[in-house]
Amino acid sequence: MNDEEKKFALYENFQKVNSIAPEFFEQYEVKRGLRNPDGTGVIAGITNIANVHGYVVSDGVKTPDEGQLRYRGYDLYDLLEDDSSDRRFSFEEVSYLLLMGELPTKEQLARFVSVIDAERELPDGFTASLIMRNTPPDIMNLLARSILLLYAFDENAEDRAPQHEIHTAISLISRVPRIMVLAYYAQQAKYNNGSMIMHRFIPGQSTAETILSMLRPDRQFTPDEARMLDVMLCLHAEHGGGNNSTFTTRVVTSADTDAYSTYAAAIGSLKGWKHGGANHQVLAMQQEIKENVQDWSDEGQVADYLAKIVNKEAFDRTGLVYGMGHAVYTISDPRAVILKKFAERLAVGTEYEAEFELLKNIERLAPEVILKEKGTNKDMCANVDMYSGFVYSMMGIPEDLFTPLFACARMAGWAAHRFEEIVSGKRIIRPAYKTTHSGKRPYKSIDER
């Protein structure tokens, strides 16, 4: 305990002061987490941007259904149907769709890509003074800080006009991936005695190619790797208005603040371990299983260790099988379905094939184990995090970049929701909180307390 803690030891009552009796939530019918009793989300808004579908509610009954994710009405499976490695990159096309509302023509896409390409340059001195100086250990924090500081380089930062909003969004979609890679090497240099590698971006490369080219010391990558990363960016680009970081975007935008403050707030939300940061928990759990299960192909051994996790005897003792289950999806998560297909193509015939089979076993066995150990017959599917860390690892992408890559992709979705909130929201988002104090407390002077 340091001197300040001794002087001001409020932490001793931290739990007591901040605890609210569970019966109050029931008494006032509070929908905690903005969820209804059956797990469905409370409708807090209307959007044309995306639809996340995982169940059907009919006559008050919630029925599981195959997962669907649609961007502006287009099914994700259709947008990413062509998985050939020589296909043109999709992330820029998806970003255009989210921002502009329609799929681009060849000419429109070419112009959009050229604008993104032209915006990658950072202000003079930005890297040396703002990324390499006082570098924090977490890259997400550095991304948020960098976005806030870019406000200072924008003479019209407080402009809410459509032209400026679109320009700011495209600028950040272009720049955040570059800032992310520079931030990673600054972090490695400061905390891990690593080399500070500062590759220039190569004009004309896609977002996925730019990330790999700047990240790899030798700048080399295969077409399959670039296509896989492009798919990952597309899968993470948008996920409806109800996810925490997008709702944060909506809430902050409704207060009529600037774009930079809004996107920095969204990154703060995405960093959370229950949101974008969940991939770290999935990877750590998978690592523990790999270390403790002797034969990864033996379903009995895998099931036995999953039972230990479910019974709070292994991993973090929460009883949760990370990478399984989702707030909306029940039978399937389309992002996981697509990612699993691409992951298998990269893994087959390589040193990663056995690990891929292990993940498939975890996905298949987890619901059975949970039913057997807990009697819970909840519809549960693998979510996108089950395979995302594995894919990144196969590509040699460090774990510190998993969530920042999520942020690079989701910039497009956040921007689309900010635009929609500006035009159609019209009111500051301000839900109600019920107080537990039934009456006025009598005040006593400081000498009487």
* pLDDT tens-digit readout, 425-440: 999 999 999 998 888 8
pLDDT digits (tens, 9 = 90+) for 101-133: 999 999 999 999 999 999 999 999 999 988 998
Indicate the SS3 state at residue 217: coil
pLDDT at 87 over 80: no
pLDDT of residue 1: 62
Residues 6+ apart with CB under 8 A from 347: 353, 355, 356, 394
Alpha carbons 382 and 331: distance in angstroms, whole number: 9
pLDDT at 284 over 90: yes
Alpha carbons 370 and 377: distance in angstroms, whole number: 8
What average pLDDT score do residues 233-262 get? 98
pLDDT band at 17 (very low <50, low <70, confident <90, very high): confident
Token pair 């928990």 in the structure block, residue: 281
Q: How many CB atoms lie within 10 A of CB 449?
A: 6
- Active-site pick, 230, 258, 333, 385: 385
Alpha carbons 327 and 332: distance in angstroms, whole number: 12
What average pLDDT score do residues 67-91 get? 85
- For residue 354, give the nearest of 297, 303, 299 by alpha carbon: 297
pLDDT of residue 379: 83
Rg (CA), the chain: 24
pLDDT digits (tens, 9 = 90+) for 36-75: 988 899 999 999 999 999 999 888 888 999 999 999 999 9
- Active-site pick, 326, 333, 400, 417: 326
* 326 counts as catalytic: yes
Alpha carbons 76 and 51: distance in angstroms, whole number: 10
pLDDT of residue 9: 65
Alpha carbons 249 and 272: distance in angstroms, whole number: 15
Alpha carbons 59 and 153: distance in angstroms, whole number: 54
Helix (H) or strand (E) holding 412: helix 402-420
Q: Do the beta carbons of residue 323 and residue 333 sit within 8 Å?
A: no
pLDDT digits (tens, 9 = 90+) for 298-342: 999 999 999 999 999 999 999 999 999 999 999 999 999 999 998
Tokens of 176: 């955040």
Alpha carbons 108 and 117: distance in angstroms, whole number: 14
Whole-model pTM: value is 0.94
Give the chain's mean pLDDT.
Answer: 93
What average pLDDT score do residues 386-410 get? 96
Alpha carbons 76 and 334: distance in angstroms, whole number: 8
* 437 counts as catalytic: no
pLDDT of residue 436: 87
Token pair 């297909």 in the structure block, residue: 341
Q: How many CA atoms does the CB half-sphere of 347 hold within 13 Å? A: 21
What average pLDDT score do residues 185-196 get? 94
pLDDT of residue 150: 97
How, if at all, do strands 50-58 and 61-71 pair? antiparallel
